[in-house]
Amino acid sequence: MKHNLLLDAGLSLEKEHLVAEKKEKNVYIKHYVLTDKDEKIYRNRKGDYFTISFDDKILYENEKILAKVFQKTFKTFLAKYHKGGTILFVGLGNSSLLGDSFGVKVLNQLIATNQYNDFLTIPKVALFAPETTNKTGISSFRLIEMVVKDLKPDVIVLLDSFVTNQTKFLNRTIEINDCGVIFADQLRSNKTITFDTFHIPVLSVGFPTLLKFHKTYLSKFSLEEDLRIVSQLIAKSINHILLS
């Protein structure tokens, strides 16, 4: 089961949990906060959520605006948690399935620096793609757990494909949060990649690539091109934040 986009929650979310919003041309940035009591209502963990929504024109004709907004939002959010140690980026999903490949596509374009010991002026960045249990025969959670124990990162950033139940958000929203991921249905367990599990801040960057319609998952005909643009945009923005 993939993580559901927070915006699917609808009007009650806008009325009760929207704390800030901004518009830059046709890019809309919203900041929501959920508390403990909201977890059961919205089926999302407590924490901070930033959503960046955009239209076709922005994506295909003016992606620089989108890149600027994402870069500014993610840089500010990361600075809240990163205290100078290693940043572990985890690309979740199945690289063989287009609708589940966002995390790996972004990861493949990020620049690792954890192997260098002489460059003290740039953050140490480590990259890991656990793939899915069906491909490796090993629990994704278990693989991540082993890497975290060995690496002892300062912060974990999860990159993953999300699910939405609203067509207007499909391939047109980026969500950033500090809530992590629950693997409940996917691995038939209650394993989580969250602060509670590893006692390390866990951020997520998600992109809704699948539309949930009854018991079926659908994707846009433009998914391949949309993924190419957005994954490249996000990877370049993250590289710029960390290496400039």
Q: What is the pLDDT of residues 180-212, one digit of tens each?
A: 886 544 444 557 888 889 999 999 999 999 999
Residue-wise DSSP of 155-216:
EEEEEEEEEES-GGGTTSEEEEESS-EE-HHHHTS--EESHHHHSS-EEEEEEEEEEEETTE
On whether the CB atoms of residues 43 and 4 are closer than 8 A, the answer is: yes
CB 193 within 8 A of CB 8: no
Q: Are the CB atoms for 64 and 227 separated by under 8 Å?
A: no
> What is the rounded end-to-end Cα distance, in angstroms, of the chain?
36
**Maximum Cα–Cα distance for the chain, whole Å?**
54
Res 187: pLDDT = 42
Closest by CA to 128, choosing from 115, 112, 117, is: 112
- Give the integer Cα–Cα distance in Å for 32 and 244: 29
Q: Could you identify the residue written with the tokens 């866990």?
A: 202
Residues of the chain short of pLDDT 70, as ranges, are 1-2, 38-44, 118-120, 182-190
Phi and psi for 174 in degrees, rounded to 5? -120, 130
pLDDT at 184: 43
pLDDT at 191: 73
b/e map of 111-120 (b: 16 or more CB within 10 Å)?
A: eebeeeeeee
- Give CA torsion, residues 93, 80, 77, 110, to 10 deg: -50
